[in-house]
Amino acid sequence: MPSVIVVGLQWGDEGKGKIVDVLSEKADVVARFQGGHNAGHTVVINNEKFILHVIPSGILYKGKKCLIGNGVVVDPASLVKEIEGLIRRNVQIDGSNLLLSKHAHVIMPYHIAIDQESEKLKGSKSIGTTGRGIGPTYCDKIGRTGIRISDLYQGELFRSKLKSNLLHINFLLENLYQSKGFNPDEIFEEYSGYAEKLREHVADTDIIINDAINSNKNVLLEGAQGTLLDIDHGTYPYVTSSNSTAGGACTGLGIGPTKITGVLGVIKAYTTRVGGGPFPTEIHDSLGELIREKGGEYGATTGRPRRCGWLDMVILRHSVRVNGLTGIAITKLDILDGLESLKICTSYKYNGRIYNEFPKEINIFNECEPVYEEIKGWKESTSGITDYKKLPERAREYIEKIQEMLGVEVQIISTGQRRDELIKIKEQF
Ligand code: GDP
Ligand code: IMO
Ligand code: MG
């Protein structure tokens, strides 16, 4: 019953989509457990690029059951668009291979409005959200006023929930944000339409996934965002609103922790971040721009330029700990080809004190300076290499240093965007 969780160990965009796609070949079920269409997971097959937002990256392999779990927040308009877009590109999607939890919460247009208006009001203190309504939807979920996928099929009950929610939400939009409120009947009509389009996909995903685990199927659990964006374990408040760490896979799908057999953490060979918040190893000069251009570091969802920096062992040690990793996948090694030297942050310095662990006080974290170990880079290209022994010696030293510093085995190394540009050191299934 192998059930392997794939999580990001930095601030998202580590290359989870590529790794999940590759591992999907041997998986029977691939499931998303948290987040929403704030995620953008890129998969490149034969130079054709696909960006998945809520649909698991396993969908690009035929015959895989793909689940969107209860922990995910779903914008039905966006999901319908994503399904239709993939079908147009000849990806087979129907009620047999894409299943959506009845308990997933629905992102409503008023959540999107609140997300965007509250960011505007925060001004320079804004989080830099994707503006997709993620935070306000999880607010309603926790506040027990959320609307779940199953509610969309309950006719008047759905309408009355909308009416009751809009009582205070319209007050907020019109009075605090000086914006326009929403009409519950219009939302009812529009969303009932999406519900019809999604009907064949709606299912009890908790039962499906547990049945798969119990019948010894290979199950892959695809995390979105990254550990430092986790609502509890990230750089709060500059985080997303769900548990993007391994624990989220259990609650977000209804799987007991005893059923998880592996947790693979994905690390980009350097660090990136989109949006606001602390980032001690950020590179502010032309080298940061060079990495951004070479690595194509622009948001897969919003197109925003990603902030780029060196590898940070302080946050990675934290990520290893809170996820209980069994293995590591390192991506984008090829982007570091040709650099004279590389820096690895081993600790932080603040007010004359050395921090080996990430300070939990965000104001201190914000002011931390990185302490670096500098190592020599490699001149040769690693692009497309599939055999570990063929990597330049210094690239191997970099990988082995990461492994040694984190105490977790490096099991996969990615050397390009495409499926075949990969070094597999250990199989996950
Ligand atoms: P995700 O959100 O974690 O799935 O990552 P994104 O898709 O947002 O960003 C990762 C980007 O890096 C995508 O454009 C991938 O195609 C690309 N990528 C992944 N692995 C590699 C790699 O090893 N080398 C290169 N050059 N690009 C990669
Ligand atoms: P994937 O799955 C990178 C960031 C946003 C913002 C913060 C909160 O592709 O790695 P939100 O809209 O979630 O309320 O925004 O989280 N963020 C991501 N950054 N990759 C992602 O997803 C992200 N999803 C959200 O930029 O800083
Ligand atoms: Mg992404």
Q: Separation of 281 CA from ligand 1 center, angstroms?
A: 20
Nearest atom in ligand 1 to the alpha carbon of residue 414 is 23
The residue annotated as part of the active site, out of 41, 53, 111, 318, is: 41
**Cβ 249 vs Cβ 260: under 8 Å:** yes
- Beta-bridged to residue 317, according to DSSP, are none
Cβ(416) to ligand 1 under 6 A?
yes
Burial of residue 341 (CB within 10 Å: 0-12, 13-18, 19+) is exposed
Ordered by start, the domain boundaries in the chain are 3-101+202-264, 105-198, 268-424
CB atoms within 10 A of CB 45: 14
Check residue 301 and give its pLDDT: 82
**Known active-site residue 334:** no
Nearest atom in ligand 2 to the alpha carbon of residue 274 is 26
Out of 3.90.1150.10, 3.40.718.10, 1.10.300.10, 1.10.3720.10, the CATH code matching 105-198 is: 1.10.300.10
Residue nearest to atom 20 of ligand 2 (CA): 12
Residue nearest to atom 27 of ligand 1 (CA): 417
**Known active-site residue 41:** yes
pLDDT tens digits, 144-189 = 999 999 999 999 999 999 999 999 999 999 999 999 999 999 999 9
Domain 3-101+202-264 fold is Adenylosuccinate Synthetase; Chain A, domain 1 (3.40.440)
In what order do the strands lie in the sheet containing 410-414? 202-203, 98-101, 65-68, 29-32, 219-222, 3-8, 262-268, 327-331, 410-414, 422-424
Residue nearest to atom 28 of ligand 1 (CA): 417
pLDDT averaged over the chain?
A: 97
Domain 268-424 fold is Adenylosuccinate Synthetase; Chain A, domain 3 (3.90.170)
Question: pTM here?
Answer: 0.98
Tokens of 151: 């509610």
Check residue 307 and give its pLDDT: 97
Interatomic CA distance for residues 270 and 333, integer angstroms: 8
Interatomic CA distance for residues 72 and 105, integer angstroms: 7
**Cβ 57 vs Cβ 21: under 8 Å:** yes
pLDDT tens digits, 292-312 = 999 999 988 889 999 999 999
DSSP class of 276: S
Q: Which of 129, 245, 268, 298 to mutate to test the pocket of ligand 2 (most atoms within 8 A of CB)?
A: 129
